[in-house]
Structure 1
Amino acid sequence: MRAITITEPGGPDVLAWTEVPDPEPGPGEVVVDVRASAVNRADLLQRQGHYPPPAGASAYPGLECSGVVSATGPGVSGWQVGDVVCALLTGGGYAERVAVPAGQLLPVPAGVDPVDAAALPEVACTVWSNLVQLAHLSIGETLLVHGGGSGIGTFAIQLGVALGATVVVTARPAKHERLRELGAAHTIDYTTQDFVEEIRRITDGRGANVILDIMGAAYLGRNVAALATGGRLVVIGMQGGRKAELDLGALLAKRGSVSATALRSRPMEEKAAIVRGVREEVWPLVESGAIGPIVDRRLPMAQAAEAHRIVESNDHLGKVLLTVD
Structure 2
Amino acid sequence: MTYQSNSKETLELIKKLVSIPSPSGNTEKVICFVEDFFKKIGVETYRNRKGGLIATIKGKDDTKHRMLTAHVDTLGAMVKEIKNNGRLRLDLIGGFAWNSIEGEYCEIETAEGKVYTGTILMHQQSVHVYKDAKTAERNQQNMEVRIDEKVTNAEEVRALGIEVGDFVSFDPRVQITDSGYIKSRHLDDKASVGILMNLIKHITRNNIELPYTTHFLISNNEEIGYGGNSNIPPETVEYLAVDMGAIGDGQSTDEYTVSICVKDGSGPYHYKLRKRLVELAKQNQVQYKLDIYPYYGSDASAAIRSGHDIVHGLIGPGIDSSHAFERTHISSIQNTEKLLYHYLLSNMID
Q: TM-score, normalised by structure 2?
A: 0.27
In proportion to residue count, which structure has more helix?
1
In our comparison, the structure showing a higher alpha carbon Rg is 2
Q: Which has the higher contact order (CA 8 A, sep 6+)?
A: 2
Q: TM-score, normalised by structure 1?
A: 0.28
